[in-house]
Amino acid sequence: MLGIVGAGKGTQAKKLSGHIGVPHISTGDIFREAVKNRTELGLKAQKIMDGGGLVPDDIVIEIVKERLAESDIAGGYIFDGFPRTINQAEKFDRIDDIDRVYYISIPEEESVQRLKGRRLCSLCRRQYNVYLNKDINGKCPECGGKLIARPDDKEETVIVRIKNYIKETKPLINYYKNQNKLIKIDGNRTIEEVFNSIIDRLPGS
Ligand code: AMP
């Protein structure tokens, strides 16, 4: 899944993972877990993430390799938030083959707006948006956990993340277009509509 922050990569990757039964691999989730567990990686990543920067490519490639050493990926996997730089993509091309890249496209102004409203359940990690789920009241409707904003969703951090996306990640659109792997999906629609477009463009459909 490729797209600007807030495009809905995580939401769609999770839904697709349930639909086709292959794991969803989010490098952001791996880093957040490491931060929570205060591992060496977590301590390194936290400062970078909180400032809206990108974790160095070599570290990212190492954690991706570690994740792909697990047995559950035998039937395939869905990346969300990786690769994020041309260097990561080139390095990954030497590790495995990406079949398709779903580029979820939304306007940049929409990205800022969505992240302002994003909330995460502190217990089950489900994600909500206060603009879309108007009746949530600081509590997760699924498990009752407290809803929190991600520390890197602060407006000033979001601006840095968007700048980094434009400079480092956006070039991947052409990179994968040139490899004939890119499928552009209009992300400025409901979650279900976006998901249906992805399903319609799965291999074999
Ligand atoms: P995400 O949940 O995908 O928005 O990722 C949260 C943060 O984790 C990013 O803002 C980066 O600081 C870091 N991160 C996640 N994936 C990568 C990646 N592939 N390359 C570099 N940094 C990453």
Q: How far is the CA of 102 from the centre of ligand 1 (A)?
A: 18
- Kindly give the distance from the C-alpha atom of residue 129 to the centroid of ligand 1, in angstroms, as a whole number: 20
For residue 14, the model assigns a pLDDT of 95
Ligand 1 within 6 A of CB of 48? yes
Instruction: Verify whether ligand 1 is closer than 6 Å to residue 153 (CB atom).
Output: no
- CA-nearest of 85, 73, 79 to 102 is 79
Distance 205 CA to ligand 1 centre (A): 31
Give pLDDT, residue 32: 92
In whole angstroms, give the CA distance from residue 43 to residue 77. Answer: 27
Burial of 191 (0-12, 13-18, 19+ CB in 10 A): middle
Residue 84 bears catalytic tag: yes
Residue in 91, 116, 126, 150 annotated catalytic: 150
Question: What pLDDT score was predicted for residue 55?
Answer: 97
* Sign, CA torsion 148/167/30/187: positive
Question: Each residue of 53-80: pLDDT tens digit?
Answer: 999 999 999 999 999 999 999 999 999 9
Q: For residue 203, name the pLDDT band (cuts at 50, 70, 90).
A: confident
